[in-house]
């Protein structure tokens, strides 16, 4: 079958093919109604075509912004300084216990740089943690394409993401 990509181009993804070569190569035979050996015809099916082509169309269609359930990293935790890395790791552990996927960006960079770099990676949620968040047991949430969403408890964030899945 054919699929149109984001630019309107058609791509063949799924195929059904009749193959006369492989039965010969594998020396396949069957006994027909006449009690004689016959060479079968093999039918191949590939519902999505090559995996590479399917993946390329998916990436292009989503413009790199995979659905939340498919994206490799659903969140990135950005500590505002090294003092908050331990808290960031605790938050990550809590979220992983809720079966969410993410990373802690513990690079020695400014928070602005961390936000920019992780937005370019198209990570759906950026969780900023600093003094206020650590004291309150919260994370400040930035949603890809929507900006600041405010501070929420870690469990509330996990519930919000799981509901969106």
pLDDT tens digit at each of 165 positions of the chain: 677 877 788 877 777 789 999 999 999 999 999 999 999 999 987 766 677 777 887 888 888 899 999 999 999 999 999 999 999 999 999 999 999 999 999 999 999 999 999 999 999 999 999 999 999 999 999 999 999 999 999 999 999 999 999
Place of tokens 């058609």: 10
Helices (H) and strands (E) in the chain, counts: 6, 11
Question: What residues does each domain of the chain span?
Answer: 2-62, 75-164
Helix axes of 85-97 and 154-164: crossing angle, nearest 10 degrees? 40
Please state the length of the chain.
165
pLDDT at 1: 67
CA dihedral 61, 62, 64, 69 (to 10 degrees): -140
Q: How far apart are CA 50 and CA 15, in angstroms?
A: 10
Q: How far apart are CA 21 and CA 44, in angstroms?
A: 12
Backbone angle region of 144, left / alpha / beta, with phi > 0 → left and psi within -120 to 50 → alpha: beta
Backbone dihedral angles phi then psi of residue 81, each to the nearest 5 degrees: -155, 175
- In terms of DSSP H, where are the helices of 28-137? 51-62, 85-97, 111-120, 131-136
pLDDT at 48: 63
pLDDT at 97: 98
Strand 147-153 versus strand 138-143 pairing type? antiparallel
Question: What is the architecture, at CATH level 2, of domain 75-164?
Answer: 3-Layer(aba) Sandwich (3.40)
pLDDT at 154: 98
pTM of the model: 0.73
């Amino acid at each position: 079958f054919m699929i149109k990509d984001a630019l309107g181009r058609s791509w063949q993804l799924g195929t059904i093919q009749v193959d006369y070569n492989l039965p010969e190569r594998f020396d396949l035979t069957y006994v027909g109604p006449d009690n004689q050996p016959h060479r079968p015809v093999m039918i191949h099916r590939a519902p999505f075509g090559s995996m590479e082509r399917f993946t390329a169309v998916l990436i292009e269609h989503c413009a790199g912004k995979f659905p939340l359930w498919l994206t490799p990293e659903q969140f990135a935790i950005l500590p505002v300084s090294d003092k908050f890395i331990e808290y960031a790791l605790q938050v990550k552990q809590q979220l992983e216990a809720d079966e969410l996927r993410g990373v802690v960006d513990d690079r020695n960079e400014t928070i602005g740089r961390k936000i920019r770099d992780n937005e370019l990676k198209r990570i759906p949620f950026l969780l900023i943690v600093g003094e206020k968040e650590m004291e309150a047991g919260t994370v400040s949430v930035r949603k890809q394409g929507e900006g600041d969403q405010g501070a929420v408890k870690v469990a509330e964030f996990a519930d919000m993401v799981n509901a969106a899945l």
